Amino acid sequence: MSVYESICRFKALRTCRITFLPVAVFLSFLIFAGCSRTNSDTSSTAGNADTIRIGVIAELTGDIPSVGSSSRAAAEMAVNQVNNAGGLTVGGRKLKVELFVEDDAAKADQAAATMQNLINQKNVIAVVGPNSSTGAIPAAEIAESSKMLMITPWSTNPKTTLDSRTNQHKRYVFRACYLDTFQGRILASFARNDLKAQKAAVLFDVAAEALKGQAEVFKDSFELKNGRMAGYEIYTTGDRDFSTQLTKIKSKAPDIIFLPAYYGDVPLAVQQAHKLGLNVPFLGSDAWASSDLLALCGKDCEGFYFTAHYSPDSAAAKSKEFVDKFKALNNGKVPDDVAALTYDAFGLLLDAIGRAGKTDTESVRNALANTTGFAGVTGNMKFVEGSGDPIKGAVILRIKDGKFKWFANANP
Amino acid sequence: MAYFLQQFINVLQTGSTYSLIALGYTMVYGVLSMINFAHGDIFMVGAFLFFLFVSTLKLPFVPSMLAATVLTALLGVATERFAYRPLRGAPKMSAVITALGVGVLLEHLTLAINPYPRHIPAMFEGSGTWSAGGVVISQLKAAIIVFSLLMMALLDFTINKTKLGMAIRAISWDMSVVPLMGVSVNGVIAATFAIGAGLGGIAGVLYSLAYPVINPYMGVMVGWKAFISAVIGGIGNVRGAIVGGYVLGLVETLTIVFLPATYRDVTAFSLLLILLVYRPYGLMGKPKTFKV
């Protein structure tokens, strides 16, 4: 990796993630955050204000602008719904919600700066976002040290809610989605029990933390269920040719191939497999969930399954209502995972504020940690005190007639 | 056995791409003794031009491929005319740095015009696969390999048997004497760039048929691999570049067969370093002696 990294840094300063600068910036922020906390405690300044001030950190520019714009649209929709109904009832008073949307460009340093700004300048009581783990992990460190409540809608990396020093769960950081490890487990039992696969192969992007985690957990869970692995092959981000790995996999004749890969790589791998005469079903994870996959992969992906956070065609009334409203507000755009999860993050937060009956961060945080049964668009969620990771189910989608179709619910 | 034959077909496909692009590096080095680091990005532009004609303008396959090849060749000529020719008398390092700059410019220009990964539509929907004794080869793959080999044979003929080829070889031998024979140096150098870039464009088209998702950075890594191929064969040596591409394809495939796939690039670049230290003139080149 280091050769490749140094070369592409030299050549174009592009997809290589330059880790040192953000880490350095982030460390200096940690020091500042530590200092400022001793000088003045900013966490509960909005205790008895007339509005509820909530911050949003979204990836509006940078590599994944569609994630940020989805998240912002869902946040505005959630807040407008409450305000149009006269506000949120908190301890007998109707309070309006005021939203502060900031851009972190999906960058670690900018996410840290934005979180700092929301805490110190905007005096928010809670922050929803960032969505990408790249931004969410450093932002979460600052939120925790400033005692600021943070809910990330979409960051599935375990490190977001874990304290980097103690490896304990952070007290003030929550998320609205499940973790990478959960998907690996769900897919392994789906392959073994529902698809009756005896032998499974895995091909995954080893340079992507989330995908690597999914592959490892899938392998362990599949073997635990008396399945056999027929190939465990890797590639790195940016590879275009998987023929050699797929030829190796083919020689071991698996019943199924798990492909935790981002949606741009999926069609290449699947089409190359078909050209090699390797015609077994593929399984995917939430990294597949982009409508671009359907356009890029076409008929080759027909009939394949993958896990997602929610399904727009789900029969559940709550999901349907959300999808219809979102489409009406956004020129018919179907809400994606990020939109649904951001909406649920607001749902969780507003529910907690209502139950707390107060608007100071500490009370809201305690109410949120004691959420026992929140019915969200992406399923039912609860928190267990001591962990910011929700207990919730996943959905399994199937690609059928060029569309994502709901196939099954998978509960923990 | 079938398994290794199958892997060998994979080698042929990867190797064909590397060889076609390596020819561009080696030809430019031959006439100007400079490494045109923008060449990988010229390959990328070829793929994007093909996408433009096939997908946006909805032209049939053959005219699209011809148009993409011709325009890429012109792009090669233009980079030589406007970026490298003004620096011909300058130290070689200036030209190499300029080449890097041109490469980055092309990447970001493509990115500015077209920020999303694009999908080349399936052109040969009906094409199937042949299989024999457990070895499967798709007709598309076979066609790409055969067409690449044809192009390389054509180039080899041009270099060795035509007047233009003789002029290119003459410039590579001694640039200062060529004008005395009444041959236009600038014309021949422009033709060399046109051929090299045109082959890069063809490689871009073939590559985007085999791997139909294209993005503006696709040329970076492939360009480096082709550069290594050229070094393996002996940079400046046309037949060496062809052999070098297949050798690198073989080395990479064997690496993935026996080691985790992450070692593929490690092996490729280690090979580059070892060659540069112990045999900088490559497998087929001759050591250069300098007379005082």
B119-159: pLDDT as tens digits: 888 777 667 788 887 788 888 889 999 999 999 999 999 99
- Name the token pair of B224: 């480096």
Three-state DSSP at B136 gives strand
Is-contact A387 A169, C-beta < 8 A? Answer: yes
Does the beta carbon of A70 lie under 8 angstroms from any beta carbon of chain B? no
Task: Specify if B180 maps to a domain.
Answer: yes
A337-366 tens-digit pLDDT = 899 999 999 999 999 999 999 999 999 999
Task: Specify if B20 maps to a domain.
Answer: yes
Average pLDDT, chain A: 85
Distance (Å, whole) CA B126 – CA B140: 10
Nearest to A307 by CA among A392, A229, A408: A408
- pLDDT on residue A311: 85
Distance (Å, whole) CA B121 – CA B112: 22
Question: What residues form DSSP beta bridges with B131?
Answer: B136
The CATH class of the A24-177+319-392 domain is: alpha beta
Task: Specify if B221 maps to a domain.
Answer: yes
- pLDDT on residue A38: 39
Distance (Å, whole) CA B250 – CA B8: 8
Distance (Å, whole) CA B97 – CA A11: 10
Is-contact A45 A361, C-beta < 8 A? Answer: no
Q: Which amino acid is at B83?
A: A
B80-130 tens-digit pLDDT = 999 999 998 888 888 889 999 999 999 999 888 877 677 888 777 667 788
- Radius of gyration of chain A from Cα atoms? 22
Which of A241, A249, A294, A296 to mutate to test binding with chain B, by most B CBs within 10 Å of its CB? A241
Q: Which amino acid is at A300?
A: D
Residue B93's domain spans which residues?
Answer: 2-115+140-278
Report CA-CA distances (Å) from A266 to A292, B96, B116: 11, 36, 16
Q: How many domains in chain B?
A: 1
Q: Is B119 in Cβ contact with A296 (below 8 Å)? A: yes
Q: Is A244 in Cβ contact with B257 (below 8 Å)? A: yes
B10-67 tens-digit pLDDT = 999 999 999 999 999 999 998 888 899 999 999 999 999 999 999 889 899 999 999 9
Distance (Å, whole) CA A133 – CA A130: 8
- pLDDT on residue A36: 44
B71-80 tens-digit pLDDT = 999 999 999 9
Distance (Å, whole) CA B203 – CA B205: 5
Is-contact A116 A29, C-beta < 8 A? Answer: yes
Vertex B153 angle, CA B152 and B157, to 5°: 115
Vertex A119 angle, CA A117 and A125, to 5°: 140
For A332, other C-beta atoms within 10 Å of its C-beta total 8
Element (H, E) at B138: strand B135-138
Domain A181-308 CATH (choose: 3.40.630.30, 3.40.50.300, 3.40.50.10470, 3.40.50.2300):
3.40.50.2300
ipTM: 0.78
Three-state DSSP at B182 gives coil
Taking the CA of residue A328 and the nearest CA in chain B, the distance in Å comes to 26
Taking the CA of residue B28 and the nearest CA in chain A, the distance in Å comes to 19
Taking the CA of residue B283 and the nearest CA in chain A, the distance in Å comes to 23
Task: Specify if B109 maps to a domain.
Answer: yes
Distance (Å, whole) CA B70 – CA B95: 24
Q: DSSP labels for B203-218?
A: HHHHHHHHS-EE-TTH
A contacts of B39 (beta carbons < 8 Å) = none
A35-90 tens-digit pLDDT = 444 333 344 444 446 899 999 999 988 777 888 999 999 999 999 999 999 999 99
Is-contact A276 A250, C-beta < 8 A? Answer: yes
B contacts of A233 (beta carbons < 8 Å) = 261
Three-state DSSP at B130 gives strand
Task: Specify if B37 maps to a domain.
Answer: yes
- pLDDT on residue A47: 46
- Name the token pair of A94: 């109707």
Cis peptide leading into residue A138 (ω within 30°): no
Task: Specify if B133 maps to a domain.
Answer: no
Taking the CA of residue A79 and the nearest CA in chain B, the distance in Å comes to 32
Does the beta carbon of A2 lie under 8 angstroms from any beta carbon of chain B? no
Distance (Å, whole) CA B110 – CA B216: 6
Task: Specify if B125 maps to a domain.
Answer: no
- Helices B2-32 and A243-251 pack at an angle, to 10 degrees, of 170
DSSP B25: H
B contacts of A15 (beta carbons < 8 Å) = 217
Task: Specify if B252 maps to a domain.
Answer: yes
Strand A126-128's sheet: what is its strand order?
A88-90, A93-103, A51-58, A126-128, A149-152, A173-175
Is-contact A151 A128, C-beta < 8 A? Answer: yes
Phi, psi values for residue A257, rounded to 5°: -125, 125
Q: Is B3 in Cβ contact with A1 (below 8 Å)? A: no
Distance (Å, whole) CA B272 – CA B266: 10
pLDDT band at B251 (very low <50, low <70, confident <90, very high): very high
User: Domain limits of chain A?
Assistant: 24-177+319-392, 181-308
Nearest to A129 by CA among A148, A152, A149, A146: A152
Query: How would you write chain A as a 3-class SS string?
Result: CHHHHHHHHHHCCCCCCCCHHHHHHHHHHHHHHHHHHHHCCCCCCCCCCCEEEEEEEECCCCCCHHHHHHHHHHHHHHHHHHHHCCCEEECCEEEEEEEEEEECCCCHHHHHHHHHHHHHCCCCCEEECCCCHHHHHHHHHHHHHCCCEEEECCCCCHHHCECCCCCCECCCEEECCCCHHHHHHHHHHHHHHHCCCCEEEEEEECCCHHHHHHHHHHHHHHHHCCCEEEEEEEECCCCCCCHHHHHHHHHCCCCEEECCCCCCHHHHHHHHHHHCCCCCCEEECHHHCCHHHHHHHHHHHCCCEEEECCCCCCCCHHHHHHHHHHHHHCCCCCCCHHHHHHHHHHHHHHHHHHHHCCCCHHHHHHHHHCCCCEEECCEEEECCCCCCCCECCEEEEEEECCEEEEEEEECC
pLDDT along chain A (412 residues), means of 10: 44 45 55 45 49 94 83 96 93 92 90 95 94 91 95 90 87 92 90 94 87 91 94 88 93 95 88 90 89 82 91 79 92 89 96 94 95 90 91 91 87 76
Looking at residue B166, which CATH number applies to its domain?
1.10.3470
Three-state DSSP at B160 gives helix
Q: Is A14 in Cβ contact with B6 (below 8 Å)? A: no
Nearest to A321 by CA among A340, A297, A349, A304: A340
